Amino acid sequence: MNKKEELERWAQLLRYDVVRMISNANSGHPGGSLSAADIAACLYFNEMNIRPDEPDWPDRDRFILSKGHAAPVLYAALARKGYFSIETLKTLRTAGSMLQGHPDIHTPGVDMTTGCLGQGLSAGCGMALSARLDKKSYRVYVMMGCGEMNEGQVWESVMSAAHFKLDNILVILDYNQLQFDGSVREVLNPGSMKKRWEGFNWNVIEINGHDINEILSSFKKAKETKDIPTVIIADTIKGRGVKFIEKDYMWHSLMDNKKFTEYAEQMREELKNADSFYADRLW
Ligand SMILES: Cc1ncc(C[n+]2csc(CCOP(=O)(O)OP(=O)(O)O)c2C)c(N)n1
């Protein structure tokens, strides 16, 4: 199996985990978790320099899920990397669980508490500046959402990152075109996202956020870019992989758990028969 095929399988497994977790919890945000699964698989299974058995390793790359409501895909990636057990995924959104509806910094592998949109890149700038002061080579990855771009604080941090020439930061914008209650254009039209970031002096790379090769090569290009921060604008599909919710903003949050639970079962059967990769990994 080559790298691309392997990462596609991890992404599909993360999608499965997302569907199972949300169906199990009877609550959560499937649309934006599923749109981010290919990127999350590439980050956690290829790109980031991390040690799951030493979550606070000072030299680790940092990851901030600024669109914190997509927590299920982060938790799935962390569990699959071994930060905690697959069993723990069954506790999503239950009282006392380490897997709350939005990421909490006390959970192993979570570098920043998020959920209040707009704040992640500010924290990321702090981490990137800190790396520079400490003469460390770790990188800071921040995943943001397109609805999140409505938050004013985003643009303060965008300005700061460029001003301080933070080339150790990489923003990945999961540009699925939809937010909570409609398309981003209808809710608050952002105009050209590319021109916006370029106007703030960022290096902009546009990709198909479901194409593993494009994701990997954009990470490489970002690393090679010096003195300005890079944003990857990833064209994605909200709900990607679950046909009946794809491109439907109503499925930003869980809409119909009976249907979703039936689909979780169907997905389990399909994966079981699809490839030996999944055989021992389904729950
Ligand atoms: C400050 C703040 N305002 C409002 C919300 C409620 N909210 C949660 S998700 C969301 C839409 C986010 O859309 P987007 O960033 O495009 O996420 P995605 O489509 O990728 O899931 C909103 C408005 C929030 N979490 N934080």
**What does the alpha-carbon distance between residue 36 and residue 53 come to, in Å, rounded to a whole number?**
24
Written out in words, the top-level CATH class of the domain with range 3-278 is alpha beta
Strand-pairing partners, residue 144, are: 173
Give me ligand 1 centre to Cα 2, in Å. Answer: 36
Ligand 1 pocket, 209 CB below 6 A?
no
| Ligand 1 contacts CB of residue 241 (under 6 A) | no
All residues at 6 or more sequence positions from 269 whose CB lies less than 8 Å from its CB, including other chains: none
Cα gap 89→33, rounded to integer Å = 14
Q: How far is 151 from 144, CA to CA, in rounded Å?
A: 11
> Where in the chain are the domains?
3-278
pLDDT of residue 247: 98
pTM (two decimals): 0.98
* Ligand 1 and 28: CB distance under 6 A: no
Nearest CA to ligand 1 atom 16: 147
- From first to last of the 283 residues of the chain, give the pLDDT tens digit: 999 999 999 999 999 999 999 999 999 999 999 999 999 999 999 999 999 999 999 999 999 999 999 999 999 999 999 999 999 999 999 999 999 999 999 999 999 999 999 999 999 999 999 999 999 999 999 999 999 999 999 999 999 999 999 999 999 999 999 999 999 999 999 999 999 999 999 999 999 999 999 999 999 999 999 999 999 999 999 999 999 999 999 999 999 999 999 999 999 999 999 999 999 999 9
Residue 16 phi, psi (nearest 5):
-60, -50
Residue 117 near ligand 1, beta carbon < 6 Å? yes
Give the atom of ligand 1 at the shortest distance from the alpha carbon of 150: 15
Ligand 1 in contact with 279 (CB < 6 A)? no
